[in-house]
Amino acid sequence: MLTIKTLLTQLSIHQEATIHGWVKNKRGSKNVIFVTLQDGSCFSPLQVVIDPTQFKENLCKQITVGASLRITGKIVASPGGEQQKELSATHITILGHAPSDYPLQPKRHTLAFMRTIQHLRLRTNTFSAVFRVRHALSYAIHTFFHQKGFLWIHTPIITSVDAEGAGEVFGITSKEKEGNFFGKKVALTVSGQLPGEAAALSLGKIYTFGPTFRAENSNTPRHLAEFWMVEPEIAFYTLKENIALAIDMIKYCLRHALTHCKEEMAFLEKRMMYENKQKGQSTTRPLREHLTAIVSKDFTHITYTDAIALLKEVHTKAPQHFPDGIVPWGEDLQTTHERYLTKHFDGGVVVTNYPKGIKAFYMRQNDDGKSVAAMDILLPDVGEIVGGSQREERLDLLKAAITHMGLDLKELAWYLDTRRFGTVPHSGFGLGFERLVLLVTGMDNIRDVIPFPRTPNHAMC
Ligand code: 4AD
Ligand code: MG
CB-based pocket (< 6 A), ligand 1: 163-164, 191, 193, 214, 216, 223-224, 227, 229, 231, 384-388, 428-430, 432, 434-435
pLDDT of residue 81: 66
What does the pLDDT read at residue 346? 95
pLDDT band of 14, cuts 50, 70, 90: very high
- Please state, in angstroms and as integers, the Cα–Cα distance from residue 403 to each residue in 35, 364, 414, following that order: 67, 15, 15
* Confidence at residue 355, expressed as pLDDT on a 0 to 100 scale: 98
Distance CA 35, CA 131 (A): 24
Q: For 405-412, what is the mean pLDDT? A: 92
- Please provide the average confidence, as pLDDT, over all residues in the chain: 95
Banded pLDDT at 147 (limits 50, 70, 90)? very high
- Tell me the CA–centroid distance for residue 457 and ligand 1, in Å: 21
The mean-pLDDT minimum among 130-134, 143-147, 180-184 falls in 180-184
- Strands of 186-188's sheet in order across: 158-159, 186-188, 171-172
Whether pLDDT at 210 is above 80: yes
How many Cβ atoms sit within 10 Å of the Cβ of residue 458? 15
Contact 46, 7 (CB under 8 A): yes
Strand ranges in 1-51 using DSSP code E only, listed in sequence order? 16-28, 33-38, 46-50
Question: Do 294 and 254 form a contact (C-beta atoms < 8 A)?
Answer: yes
Q: Which helix (H) or strand (E) holds 275?
A: helix 262-278
pTM of the model: 0.97
Q: How far is the CA of 232 from the centre of ligand 1 (A)?
A: 13
- Could you tell me the distance, in angstroms and rounded to a whole number, from the CA of residue 308 to the centre of ligand 2? 17
Contact 403, 409 (CB under 8 A): yes
Q: Please report, rounded to a whole number, the percentage of residues in the chain having pLDDT higher than 90.
A: 89
Stretch 183-206: mean pLDDT, rounded? Answer: 96
The ligand whose atoms approach the alpha carbon of 360 most closely is 1
- Which of 89-98, 157-166, 290-299, 348-357 shows the lowest per-residue confidence on average (mean pLDDT)? 157-166
> Is the torsion defined by CA of 12, 15, 19, 25 positive or negative?
positive
Answer yes or no: are the C-beta atoms of 169 and 215 closer than 8 Å: yes
How many whole angstroms separate alpha carbon 362 and alpha carbon 350? 20
Task: Give ∠ CA 224-229-234 in degrees, rounded to 5.
Answer: 155
What are the pLDDT digits (tens) for 244-287? 999 999 999 999 999 999 999 999 999 999 999 988 877 689 99
Q: What is the model's pLDDT at position 30?
A: 86
CA distance 386 to 376: 5
User: What is the arithmetic mean of pLDDT over 337-362?
Assistant: 97
Residue 128 has pLDDT above 70, yes or no: yes
What is residue 217's predicted lDDT score, i.e. its pLDDT? 80
pLDDT tens for each residue of 301-320: 999 999 999 999 999 999 99
Contact 288, 265 (CB under 8 A): yes
Pocket perturbation via mutation, ligand 1, pick of 197, 342, 434, 435 by most ligand atoms within 8 A of CB:
435
Sheet of 374-379: strand order equals 151-152, 205-213, 226-235, 426-432, 383-390, 374-379, 349-352, 300-303
Cβ-contact 156, 193 below 8 angstroms: no
Mean pLDDT, to the nearest integer, of 232-237?
A: 98
Q: How many CB atoms lie within 10 A of CB 402?
A: 20
- The predicted model gives 175-191 an average pLDDT of 85
Residue 29 CB contacts under 8 Å (≥ 6 apart), including other chains = none
Check pLDDT > 70 for residue 229: yes
Q: Tell me what pLDDT residue 281 has.
A: 79
Q: Write down the pLDDT at residue 177.
A: 62
pLDDT at 6: 98
88 contacts 74 by C-beta, under 8 angstroms: yes
**Residue 426 near residue 393 (C-beta atoms within 8 A):** yes
